[in-house]
């Protein structure tokens, strides 16, 4: 179960900048 939580947290950390950029209207990645 901890592995799943770590995986979700890791993916969230990686995708967060992309989501913020998308919401900000900036497609610079």
Residue 28: predicted pLDDT:
60
Q: Quick one: pLDDT at residue 22?
A: 87
* The pLDDT of residue 3: 93
pTM strictly above 0.75 = no
How distant, in Å, are the alpha carbons of 3, 8, 9, 26 from that of 29? 28, 21, 20, 8
Structure tokens at 5: 């939580």
What does the pLDDT look like over 1-29, one tens digit per residue?
A: 789 999 999 999 999 988 888 888 876 65
Residues with Cβ < 8 Å from 27, sequence gap 6 or more?
21
């Amino acid at each position: 179960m901890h592995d799943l939580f770590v995986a979700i947290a890791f993916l969230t950390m990686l995708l967060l900048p992309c989501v913020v950029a998308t919401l900000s209207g900036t497609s610079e990645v």
